[in-house]
Amino acid sequence: MSEPQFVCKAVKSPRGAVVSEIDWADGHRGVYPHEILRGYCPCAGCQGHSGEIQFVKPSKIQLELEDIKPVGNYALALFWFDGHSSGIYSYRYLRALCQCNECRTGSPTATQGVMPRI
Ligand SMILES: [Zn+2]
Ligand SMILES: [Zn+2]
């Protein structure tokens, strides 16, 4: 059984938006500025093969999302408008990237620090 805090129920990402939202099964509303999503893209192209995920500051044209698709029942694949689509974001990882006021406090993302691969 999946823990509800790691089950994505719905994604809101209106075309042209720079912030997406994820509704989690435990009732949490996750807030995801695209700068954080793209900057913490976990793919090998962005990160190399290091065990940790660094923030890679994206340029403005890299911030528009074209599509978001579920991968199995554990992750989302993000399709960026510039053609980048190799990042698979596990639900656990997305939960750790949440930028709502509650989650951001104390998170490495608040200072653009490294994130573990989860
Ligand atoms: Zn990437
Ligand atoms: Zn949150």
CA of 48 to the centre of ligand 1 (A): 9
Ligand that lies nearest to the alpha carbon of residue 95, given by its number in the listed order: 2
Write out pLDDT tens, residues 68-106: 999 999 999 999 999 999 999 999 999 999 999 999 999
Closest CA to 114 of 56, 62, 30: 56
Indicate the CATH number for domain 4-116: 3.30.2020.30
Ligand that lies nearest to the alpha carbon of residue 47, given by its number in the listed order: 1
**Where in the chain are the domains?**
4-116
CA of 106 to the centre of ligand 2 (A): 12
Write out pLDDT tens, residues 5-41: 999 999 999 998 999 999 999 999 999 999 999 999 9
Mean pLDDT, residues 54-78: 96
Ligand that lies nearest to the alpha carbon of residue 85, given by its number in the listed order: 1
pLDDT, residue 2, reads 78
CA of 23 to the centre of ligand 1 (A): 23
- Grade residue 1 by pLDDT with cuts at 50, 70 and 90: low
